[in-house]
Structure 1
């Protein structure tokens, strides 16, 4: 029997980037390719932050961070990570949820999105 003291920490996901609850009732499941994310930018606290713009990697069908300069499919923004996702050491794939239709407070996003990414989203996403 192990009676030693163990410490566990918890974080709370911020969703202040959402402009309203519109669209949050219909998120879709998304397999995320952890190797496409940068630890210091996208998950500095051990979890992928909600609100990250996502693009779909053509070769695998998994999602990574939107990057207009990429050439693997992620150059097209398709949605936003809806909930924070824990990234365990050594993980290459994690599952999260993605919003495809919503209102976004752009200034509150955890990373920036460029004009091309906004254009990709069309009228499905409204920036407020």
Structure 2
């Protein structure tokens, strides 16, 4: 008897995007799965990441030297230790709609503008 399984694919909840700017320029990077806490087997769209090393992307902590990015689409976590994923590197982010708690960095590394949230500010770029 064959062992069938069903999977659905999609972008996930993307209400955190403040515009379409930057979407077509998302860069493919490698997520280090063990560094994340998947929800229902998925790293959610809008998860903030440190994209300073595109070969080993981990969650964003705000530490010196990090480069802020956001996972653009939901990423199903399988048995692999690493998965390729599109990372948004600039754009407008609706802080209140991110899938995790997020504190806007005092000096925003990257090219983001933030809207919503208690301390929304313009980032390093026009968005």
1:92 Cα deviation after fit:
1.0
RMSD after superposition:
2.6
DSSP 3-state at the match of 1:94: strand
What are the equivalent positions in structure 2 for 1:26-41 lying under 5 Å apart?
Answer: 26-38=25-37
| Highest RCO, 1 vs 2 (Cα 8 Å, sep ≥ 6) | 1
Q: Does 1:119 align with 2:114?
A: no
Matched positions, count: 114
1:117 Cα deviation after fit:
6.9
Q: Does 1:79 align with 2:69?
A: yes
Unaligned runs of 5+ in 1: none
Which residue does the alignment assign to 1:14? 13
Give the structure-2-normalised TM-score: 0.75
Cα distance in 2 between the residues matched to 1:31 and 1:117: 27
- The partner residue of 1:67 within 52, 61, 81 is 61
Which residue does the alignment assign to 1:55? 50
DSSP 3-state at the match of 1:107: helix
CA distance 1:117–1:51, change in 2 (3 Å): farther
Give the structure-1-normalised TM-score: 0.74
Cα distance in 2 between the residues matched to 1:66 and 1:18: 18
Unaligned runs of 5+ in 2: 116-127
Structure 1 residues 16-35: Cα deviation after superposition (integer angstroms, max 9, x where no partner): 11011111111100100011
Q: Does 1:44 align with 2:39?
A: yes
Larger Rg: 1
Cα distance in 2 between the residues matched to 1:49 and 1:118: 25
